[in-house]
């Protein structure tokens, strides 16, 4: 009996420790949100809550119209893995074209968003420190200057005064401009591009309150919902209200805790990235979305494999699952299965019928094991059969795998059945084609139809014109990227060092150095022709469906 009590006590302590760690992580992200808020509040309202962050948070109150939403007839729902906007490997992302894609939807679950990281994070930390510390430094320099003026005047004394006066002038000037050096994270660059595109601030973003990844050393990803506030507004979700044990903020959204209360046991730790849940309404259609980026690499060690399979399917090895499950995908199916278990509990216990999973599930549509997994949510079906991921090789037509899907029960969510075709119509938005594809080609495509030595010949004139727009201004100094660092100022021919705004030479060099090879030269090889679409947009196509608002 004592051993059972000790086990229970140990389990409770572990849960308590995990909860405390989770709260601390959320508070760290909340602090970053509040810091960002300080720099963007003039552009739009920001609500930094423990369970979600909300950018342009008040827009729906003044913009949303139920009549307008019902008159529209349809709400366009989407999903999009946007490929890590805001890090070095995607430094050439064209936010204008990404916004052009997202503007085709009314609400879209977007995965692979990122918090501030690497050089951008370091820059912003330096900016905040400079803004906070410089006024004190200026006062100290002024005190020192007054002391020198009161002392006996010598040549050395005069030189020192000149140096201090120059430092004060430089610090005061840079302090006025320091806020402009702060860099927005990629998810806000998308929001800004949407506002610029539409000419108003009708778009808002509900963002997950913390990043998650398979390993602590992996990039911690966020999930967000961009929504058009004129026809969509967030709605209080009863599950999120029930688990809100700390923090304020209307419970529109939350990360499901995947705990014992809903699933019979705590299954949080079998997820690499838990889905992010939010509820919305458009006209008469109220719906719950869960956006997810499912694990890609299934663990190979026996202990983790057994734990994941036991928690999800009640077996010890993937061989016991059936046709379609294997060592490469068992953990992917496990995450989807448990998510569907959770969605079924939402339906049963919270009477939420219109529950839709959206995401990059890293699972092909035609796998036979889906028949088993979908039984976890009776009536659920898998939508989007077509290929969604980018293949850079020309011979593939630019497509690789069918990884992006919707899952829901169309008998409950009949609003998403096309009345003319009498079925759910869920498709891929092919950004190689249409307006977006045409604009990308017009902007970046530099190859001709002629080949030599197995490569396409470039259009030299267009090639140089593109470099002239995106690279040359940084090379010749017409444009620049700024940061905070030690700078030299001249005082009567002498170099004096002071903290302030300087050119970010490393970032400029890295941008200039690789633009041509990544965006332009890659087009000239048949094996990497579509690489430039991946560089400027993403390695996944969005998926879309329309649902009735009446």
User: Torsion-angle region of residue 326: left (phi > 0), alpha (psi -120 to 50) or beta?
Assistant: beta
Q: What is the rounded CA–CA span in Å between residue 182 and residue 343?
A: 40
Residue 215 confidence (pLDDT): 82
In a domain, 35, yes or no: yes
In a domain, 340, yes or no: yes
Q: What is the CATH number of the domain that holds 201?
A: 3.60.10.10
In a domain, 133, yes or no: no
In a domain, 373, yes or no: yes
In a domain, 121, yes or no: no
In a domain, 502, yes or no: no
How many domains, in total, are found in the chain? 1
DSSP 70-102: HHH-EEEEEEEE---TTSGGGTT--HHHHHHHH
pLDDT bracket for residue 531 (50, 70, 90): very high
Q: What is the pLDDT of residues 428-483, one digit of tens each?
A: 999 999 999 999 999 999 999 999 999 999 999 999 999 999 999 999 999 999 99
- Rounded to two decimals, what is the model's pTM? 0.94
Q: Which domain holds residue 343?
A: 2-116+183-432+538-548
Q: What is the rounded CA–CA span in Å between residue 102 and residue 275?
A: 20
pLDDT bracket for residue 417 (50, 70, 90): very high
List residues bridging with 358 in a β-sheet. 291, 406
Q: What is the rounded CA–CA span in Å between residue 249 and residue 387?
A: 39
In a domain, 483, yes or no: no
Q: What is the pLDDT of residues 68-114, one digit of tens each?
A: 999 999 999 999 999 999 888 899 999 999 999 999 999 999 999 99
In a domain, 449, yes or no: no
- Phi, psi of 220, rounded to the nearest 5 degrees: -85, 110
Residue 18 confidence (pLDDT): 64
């Amino acid at each position: 009996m004592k051993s059972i009590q000790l086990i229970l006590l140990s389990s409770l302590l572990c849960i308590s420790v995990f909860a405390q760690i989770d709260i601390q992580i959320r508070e760290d992200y909340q602090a970053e949100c509040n810091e960002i808020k300080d720099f963007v509040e003039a552009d739009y309202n920001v609500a930094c809550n423990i369970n979600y962050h909300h950018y342009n948070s008040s827009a729906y109150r003044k913009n949303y119209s139920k009549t307008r939403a019902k008159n529209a007839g349809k709400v366009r729902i989407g999903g999009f893995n946007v490929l890590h906007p805001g890090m070095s490997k995607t430094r050439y992302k064209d936010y204008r074209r990404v916004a052009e894609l997202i503007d085709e939807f009314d609400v879209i679950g977007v995965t692979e968003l990122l918090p501030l990281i690497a050089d951008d994070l370091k820059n912003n930390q330096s900016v905040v420190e400079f803004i906070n510390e410089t006024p004190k430094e200026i006062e100290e320099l002024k005190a020192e200057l007054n002391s020198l003026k009161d002392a006996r005047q010598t040549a050395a004394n005069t030189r020192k005064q000149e140096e201090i006066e120059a430092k004060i002038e430089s610090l005061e000037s840079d302090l006025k401009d320091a806020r402009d050096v702060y860099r927005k994270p990629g998810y806000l660059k998308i929001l800004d591009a949407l506002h610029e595109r539409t000419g108003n601030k009708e778009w808002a973003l509900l963002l997950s309150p913390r990043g998650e990844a398979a390993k602590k050393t992996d990039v911690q990803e966020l999930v967000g919902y961009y929504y058009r506030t004129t026809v969509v507004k967030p709605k209080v979700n009863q599950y999120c209200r029930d688990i809100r044990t700390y923090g304020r903020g209307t419970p529109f959204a939350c990360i499901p805790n995947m705990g014992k209360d809903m699933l019979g046991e705590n299954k949080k730790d079998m997820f690499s990235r838990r889905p992010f849940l939010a509820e919305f309404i458009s006209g008469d259609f109220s719906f719950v979305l869960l956006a997810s980026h499912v694990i890609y690499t299934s663990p190979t060690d026996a202990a983790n494999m057994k734990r994941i399979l036991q928690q999800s399917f009640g077996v010890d090895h993937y061989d016991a699952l059936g046709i379609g499950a294997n060592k490469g995908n068992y953990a992917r199916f496990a995450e989807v299965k448990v998510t569907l278990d959770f969605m079924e509990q939402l339906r049963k216990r919270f009477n939420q019928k219109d529950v839709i999973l959206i995401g990059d599930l890293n699972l092909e549509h035609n796998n036979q094991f889906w028949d088993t997994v979908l039984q976890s949510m009776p009536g659920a079906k898998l939508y989007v059969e077509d290929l969604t991921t980018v293949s850079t090789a020309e011979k593939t037509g630019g497509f690789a795998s069918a990884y992006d899907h919707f899952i829901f029960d169309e008998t409950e969510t009949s609003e998403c059945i096309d009345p003319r075709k009498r079925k759910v119509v869920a498709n891929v938005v092919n950004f190689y084609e249409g307006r977006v594809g045409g604009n990308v080609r017009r902007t970046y495509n530099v190859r001709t139809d002629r080949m030599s030595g197995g490569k396409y010949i470039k259009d030299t004139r267009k090639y140089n014109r593109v470099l002239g727009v995106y690279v040359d201004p940084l090379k010749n100094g017409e444009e620049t990227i700024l940061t905070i660092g030690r700078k030299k100022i001249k005082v009567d021919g002498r170099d004096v060092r002071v903290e302030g705004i300087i050119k970010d030479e490393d970032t400029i060099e890295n941008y200039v150095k690789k633009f041509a090879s990544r965006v332009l030269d890659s087009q000239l090889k048949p094996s990497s022709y579509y690489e430039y679409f991946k560089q400027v947009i993403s390695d996944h196509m969005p998926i879309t469906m329309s649902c009735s608002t009446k």
